[in-house]
Structure 1
Amino acid sequence: MSHSHHKEKVCIKTRKVYDWVTRQVDVPLRSFNDDELEAVFPEDRCPRHHKNICDFLASNDLNAQDFMIRCFLSDEDGNRIDPVVDNDALICQEIIQSNGRQPVNVTLPSGDQVTLQKVKVLVKGHVVVQILNANGHIVGESAPIPFATAQTFILCAPEGTSLDCHISFFECDASLICTNNFSQLDVSITLCLEVQIEADVKIEVEGRFCRPREEILEATLCPTDNFPPQCPEVFPSH
């Protein structure tokens, strides 16, 4: 048997995950009213000749039952982004503490005690709110609305490790209230934050070196007499 078929020990450099958690985060509600509300819907994004956004909606015969509000994650310029794919448009980073990650003694369910570290994470991004009429046409949209949240995690994060985080789920809901004496936009954001503590390590593994597989040739164009798949669960019955 040739040497290539024998297992041997090799040293490889890889990224080790020291800890990994997922948390649902409800970002504090953002509310805008009066002058703040008008600044959220600037005229270049919501063309109008009205004193306020609610007058604009009323002039288009859009009462509370006629217009829809939708909200989505955006970059700082207001372009829609996919939170799972375009994580570069979101800031998700560790908040560096002046005295480093603080140790925390934790009692495990087994009763054993272990020392972990306190890690603080900052998440920042933008959302855009759109107003649509009953036909689904956009009649106006907001400027990018910034949001931020800071989260504290207790993790296995010894010195020399680094934080890797991303958003695996994002949901944004908005509500615009217009009455005779009151107008307000409320924006609520829920996201799933995945946090990993990692470091480059060198590990010893035992294995065999890989070889190329046999090439798969292009299938023949000639038809074959294959029967359609059957349904043995229902026929013939036992």
Structure 2
Amino acid sequence: MGHYHRDTERVCIRTRKIYDWVTRQIDVPLKSFSGDDLETIFPSDTCPGDGTICDFLAAQNMDPQNFAIRCFLTDAAGNPIDPVVDQDALICQEIMQPNGRQPVNVTLPSGETVTLQKVKALVKGHVVVQIVSPTGTVICQSAPIPFATAQTFILCAPEGTQLNCHISFFECDTSLVCTDNFTQLDVSITLCLEVQVEADVKIEVEACFCQPREELAEATLCPTTKFPPQCPDVFPAM
């Protein structure tokens, strides 16, 4: 077992305080591609042939029922990413307003009125669409397709706080329509956006210092870490 100082004392620490925290499901406006736009997002180096993606599939004798179409999140270069792990590959940031965050009076369920702030967030990223054969081979891949959404939140966000937002869930669905008179690709994106308002604060807590435990295998020559003595009569003060 480790050795601990059982006597506690008041200490001052710096930490990241969360002032507010909400999660919102967002359905990004449907992105549809047809005509020249459809040819642009399926470049010839990843989808060989002339004409549209439907022309390419017809040349491969690929019936729409015999291939799968999938969509996934990527970085700007088209590399697949995990939105939970690879947050740097996405843009999720506050949209700064000309006059700062505007105050908004909100009535709580209790009937109390409080003043919160209007905060705007921008989310931008890319997706890639792949056409996959019945055997699992990728036969056609789109260029990275950009998407974006702007959201407005009413939060406790006083001056001096920062917005921290990230995507906790991402889903992309796509549909390709190929008829004699109509060719269109539809991309539908749903995501969960977590937004936190944060600031660095200094707080006083009742705490005790802990020390590393002793090695069990054999004795060690490493000295035990010692913390500098506190000055409780001066700081933290009442």
The aligned amino acid for 1:29 is L
**Equivalent-residue separation in structure 2 for 1:10 and 1:46 (angstroms):** 63
Query: Cα offset for 1:52?
Result: 1.9
Match of 1:28 in 2: 29
Structure 2 residue matching 1:58: 3-state secondary structure = helix
Partners of 1:107 and 1:15 in 2: how far apart? 28
1:176-219, CA deviations, whole angstroms, 9 ceiling, x for partnerless residues? 1100111000000000000000000000000111111243559x
Quick one: distance in 1 between partners of 2:112 and 2:51? 65
Aligned partner of residue 65 in structure 1, secondary structure = helix
Spell out, residue by residue over 1:133-169, the C-alpha distance to the aligned partner (whole angstroms, 9 max, x if none): 1111100100000000000000000000000011100
Question: Partner of 2:77: helix, strand, or coil?
Answer: coil
1:159 is paired with a residue of what secondary structure?
Answer: coil
CA contact (8 A) 2:69 2:132 kept: yes
| Preserved contact between residue 48 and residue 56 of structure 2 (Cα < 8 Å) | no
Alignment correspondent of 1:176:
176
- SS of equivalent residue, structure 1 residue 82: coil
Q: Which residue is 2:109 aligned to?
A: 109
The aligned runs of 1:58-207 (5 Å cut-off) are 58-207=58-207
How large is the RMSD of aligned CA atoms in angstroms?
1.4
> 1:222 maps to which residue?
none
Contact 2:94 2:121 in 1 (8 A): yes
**Aligned residue in 2 for 1:227:** none
CA–CA distance in 1 between the matches of 2:217 and 2:197? 44
The structural deviation recorded for 1:127 is 0.2
Q: Under a length normalisation based on structure 1, what TM-score does the superposition of the two structures give?
A: 0.88
- Please report how far the alpha carbon of residue 47 of structure 1 lies from its aligned counterpart in structure 2 after TM superposition: 1.7
Q: What letter matches 2:172 in structure 1?
A: C
Unaligned runs of 5+ in 2: 219-238
Q: Partners in 2 of 1:107 and 1:217 — Cα distance?
A: 62
Q: Which has the larger displacement, 158-167 or 204-213?
A: 204-213
Q: Which residue of 2 aligns with 1:43?
A: 44
The runs of at least 4 aligned residues of structure 1 exceeding 4 Å deviation read none
- 1:96-155 alpha-carbon deviations (Å, 9 max, x no partner): 000000000000000001000000000000000000111111001000000000000000
State how far apart, in whole Å, the 1-side matches of 2:19 and 2:98 are.
23
Q: Which residue of 2 aligns with 1:225?
A: none
Q: 1:73 is paired with a residue of what secondary structure? A: strand
- Indicate how the Cα distance of structure 1 residues 204 and 130 shifts in structure 2: closer, same or farther if over 3 A, else same: same
Number of the residue aligned with 2:235: none
Structure 1 residue runs of 5 or longer lacking an equivalent are 219-238
The equivalent of 1:233 in structure 2 is none
Q: SS at the partner of 1:5?
A: coil
Q: Amino acid of the residue matched to residue 6 of structure 2?
A: H
Q: Percent identity?
A: 72
Q: Distance in 1 between matches of 2:150 and 2:125?
A: 12
The count of corresponding residues between Structure 1 and Structure 2 is: 215
